[in-house]
Copies of this chain bind each other. A is one copy, B any other.
Amino acid sequence: MRVLGVDPGLTRCGIGVVDGGRNRHISCVAVGVVRTPPGDELPMRLKAVADAVEQWMDAHQPEVVAIERVFSQHNVRSVMGTAQASGVVALAAARRGLPVAFHTPSEVKAAISGSGRADKRQVTLMVTKVLGLSEAPRPADAADALALAVCHLWRAPMTSRLAAAEAKAAELAKAHRQRLRDARRSSAGRGDPTR
């Protein structure tokens, strides 16, 4: 499965493409960062991010897009821009019929380093290691985009197993309720206890 990971942002938007195979084997296909000048008007910056992400989608044909979920505990102004950037990325995926998964920064850190509180340096280090890169991806946003794609690949099987288990449980519960209803109906039908 090929995943396009996006660490959304206006000043720096990290983009990384990772292929996942069997036995958790993964490889880096491409990584980069899109920059838009802080002095440009917001609509033009969003257009530059959307155009770039669409070029990456066309060039690398991912099967799924993983986007970092934005939280608002940071700087209010930059969070708005980040949310808007993530919106145009999600839109680009939706218009191509690509599924989108959002992962929180803690989920990404936990998946890649084993700790939800790893710092940027540790995330870059682990990304470089697990993808067998000859050098660390720069800037940190590019490494984050790869980490996000890796997180998605490693979490996806677990998430689908969980979803499958939940669906199975729901099915069993439904069958059980049906059997109860049938039993009640059948006992109500048999009015003659001697029969």
* Residue among B71, B88, B100 making CB contact with A88, cutoff 8 Å: B88
- Chain A 82-113, CB-CB to B under 8 Å as 1, else 0, gives 01111110110111000010100000000000
* Residue among B43, B50, B72, B93 making CB contact with A80, cutoff 8 Å: B72
> Which residues of B lie under 8 Å from residue A86 when comparing CB positions?
84, 87
* Residue among B47, B76, B87, B93 making CB contact with A95, cutoff 8 Å: B47
Question: Is there a chain B Cβ closer than 8 Å to A148's Cβ?
Answer: no
> Which residues of B lie under 8 Å from residue A58 when comparing CB positions?
none
| Contact of A91 with B50 in the complex, beta carbons under 8 Å | yes
> Which residues of B lie under 8 Å from residue A90 when comparing CB positions?
42-43, 46, 84
Count A-side interface residues using an 8 Å CB cutoff: 26
Question: Is there a chain B Cβ closer than 8 Å to A41's Cβ?
Answer: yes
Grouping DSSP codes into helix (H, G, I), strand (E, B) and loop, the A interface class, with mixed when no group exceeds half, is: helix
CA of A79 to CA of B84 in the docked complex: distance in angstroms?
Answer: 11
Question: Is there a chain B Cβ closer than 8 Å to A44's Cβ?
Answer: yes
- Chain A 61-74, CB-CB to B under 8 Å as 1, else 0, gives 00000000011100
* Residue among B43, B50, B94 making CB contact with A43, cutoff 8 Å: B94
Kindly provide the distance from the CB of A5 to the nearest chain B CB, expressed in whole angstroms. Answer: 15
CA of A177 to CA of B41 in the docked complex: distance in angstroms?
Answer: 30
> Which residues of B lie under 8 Å from residue A44 when comparing CB positions?
94
The 10 closest A-B pairs by CB, nearest first: A84-B87, A83-B83, A43-B94, A87-B87, A47-B94, A43-B90, A43-B100, A46-B91, A72-B76, A88-B91
